[in-house]
Structure 1
Amino acid sequence: MKVTSISSDQDSIKLLQITDTHLFEPLDGSLLSVKTLDSFHAVVDAIVDSGASFDAMLSTGDISQDHSAISYQHFEQGIEKLELPCFWLPGNHDFKPSMNSVLPSTQIQQVEHVLLGEHWQMVLLDSQVVGVPHGFLTEQQLTLLDEKLAEYPERNTLVLLHHHPILVGSRWLDQHTLKEADSFWRVVEKHNNVKAVVCGHVHQDMNVMHKGVQVMSTPSTCVQFKPNCDDFSLDSLSPGWRELELHNDGSVSTEVKRLKPGSFQPDFNSAGY
């Protein structure tokens, strides 16, 4: 059953973002020497152990690395203990037929629009371009955003997509940004209710204001990319996740949390992946 609304008796909506898990069919599948299923499980365990409560979780793409149906089953099984509805969307590494193979799911929701409490809505955009690392929003996706912003003008809006809609300052990553991002921002600027945009893809923590909108990217649950590098470069920071609190007044409180320092270090001699 699809979930298209999240109710809350609190003064805010609390969300958990997990992104870029890059899972494989083999249990010991590794990306740049990091066993991604192990690091994913470690992140989930750390969240459970923290005792934090959330209304829902977000998974912003690159769930799989090898396109296998079983990698998505690993994800579905891995989030069971969080006991949260999970809203996901595809990244450049994902394979939609395999994503669909786990649906319907008791937790995973594949929807484009969600009402969050009394004051917020969420629009999930598909920025995947099959076979290439960069992103693009079709006219259909832009129209979806435009229509939902117009339909619920009184609701503060959180937009989710995989690719970063602004440059992050790493030349090699910014080659693979959301192409023609100006089209996205023109839709946003037509309205006044987009408060925040959350993405994955860059394996980095970013939290900046752009055109009056809070734009955030989030660490991967596996390897991290070093900020502000022209060429491919890995960071020594540990896998992480983002916690968000959407307040009734339209403001967003957020914090990135990570596993303990030194966890799941990659092969720093790697020249790419």
Structure 2
Amino acid sequence: MKIAQLTDIHLFASPQGRLMGVDTYAALRKVLASVREQHADAVFLTGDISQDESEASYRLCAEALAGLGLPVHWIAGNHDKPATAARVFAEYDFMHPLDTLRLGGWTFLGVDCCVAGHDEGRIDDASLAALRSRLARVDDGPAAVVLHHHPLAVGTPLLDDCMLMDGGRLWAMLAQAERARLAICGHVHGDHRIVRDGRVLEVCPATCFQWIKGTREAAIENRQGYRLFRFLRDHYEAKTLFL
């Protein structure tokens, strides 16, 4: 089972919209051209799909993704308007909100950690308890949590100031969950792999541009990227593709 992860597209209502001087729609088309060559089975879209929260931006994204001919499983990011995204994506039968998903012998659990009007993420006590219960119900094969914000610091102050603020609690829970192996996220605009407590955090680079690693200021690297996963029964492989 091959899954392409795309994240942080930051589209506008207009295809000519630019963020930090980058044409985000052109960046998406560039990435999708590469994804087509990978023969993936599905796509994970892990948030910050829109920059302006407009219906048109979500429709622009869905129409572009339609050309892949693949199921797309999505979660919202801190720049998204989840209700608008859900309403627009419901018009496309290949777009699916990622809740609980079985693929390739793995169980993927989507987690909403976004707080309206805030760049940082949070998971309240009730949501954390619900996730613990969902993990406990996984009775076959490994499990992975899919979220937007990074629960572990990546060493870039600009991003670590708006990470998952209670990420330590989430990670401690994952370390105790028997079948949890992996967390997959976006938000960082950069590629990272962090191993801690026997669990792995895989961070996907952005579709639009990357923040320079280690930066405290809004300094970018104008290149596009995504992740390609291969999930097997008892393990996975991942690689980053930059364009």
**8 Å Cα contact 2:9-2:206 kept in structure 1:** yes
Letter in 2 for 1:257: L
Equivalences for residues 49-198 of structure 1 within 5 A:
50=37, 52-104=38-90, 105-117=92-104, 119-198=105-184
Look up the SS of the partner of 1:82 in the other structure: coil
**Which portions of structure 1, spanning 4 or more consecutive aligned residues, are displaced by more than 3 angstroms?**
none
Paired position in structure 2 for 1:264? none
Give distance in 1, aligned partners of 2:218 and 2:25.
23
Quote how far apart the aligned CAs of 1:55 are.
Answer: 2.1
Bigger drift between 185-194 and 81-90 goes to: 185-194
**Any conservation in 2 of the 1:204–1:220 contact (CA below 8 Å)?**
yes
Structure 1 residues 253 and 29: CA distance shift in structure 2, 3 A: same
Match of 1:245 among 219, 230, 233: 230
Q: How far apart, CA to CA, are the structure 1 residues paired with 2:153 and 2:166?
A: 12
Is the counterpart of residue 255 in structure 1 residue 210 in structure 2?
no
> 2-side partners of 1:39 and 1:114: how far apart?
28
For 2:118 and 2:159, locate their aligned partners in 1 and report how far apart those are by CA, in whole Å.
13
- Report the equivalent of 2:24: 36
Displacement of 1:192:
2.0
- Which residue matches 1:201? 187
**C-alpha contact 1:196 1:252 (8 A) present in aligned 2:** no
Structure 1: runs of 5 or more not aligned: 1-12, 260-273
Q: Which residue of 1 aligns with 2:6?
A: 18
My pick for the range that moved more, 99-108 or 35-44, is 99-108
For 2:11 and 2:82, locate their aligned partners in 1 and report how far apart those are by CA, in whole Å.
14
Tell which structure's C-alpha radius of gyration is larger: 1
Question: Aligned equivalents of 1:221 and 1:182: distance in 2?
Answer: 27
Q: Determine what percentage of the aligned residue pairs are the same residue.
A: 29
In structure 2, C-alpha distance between the alignment counterparts of 1:163 and 1:85, rounded to whole Å:
23
| Partner of residue 3, structure 1 | none
Deviation at 1:137, TM superposition (A): 1.2
- The TM-score with structure 2 as length reference comes to 0.95
The CA deviation at 1:121 is 0.3
Give 5+ residue unaligned stretches, structure 2: none
Q: Could you tell me the TM-score, scaled by structure 1's length? A: 0.85
Secondary structure at the counterpart of residue 101 of structure 1 = helix
SS in 2 for 1:132: coil
- Offset at residue 86 of structure 1 (A): 0.7
* Residue-by-residue CA offset, 1:94-132 (whole Å, 9 max, x unaligned): 011210221422111014101113x21000001111101
Q: Which amino acid aligns with 2:239?
A: E
Question: Helix, strand or coil: the match of 2:206?
Answer: coil
1:231 and 2:217 aligned: yes
Tell me the matched-pair count. 242
RMSD over aligned Cα atoms = 1.3
Q: Aligned letter for 1:254?
A: A
Deviation digits for residues 175-205 of structure 1, max 9, x if unmatched? Answer: 0010111221232122121111111101000
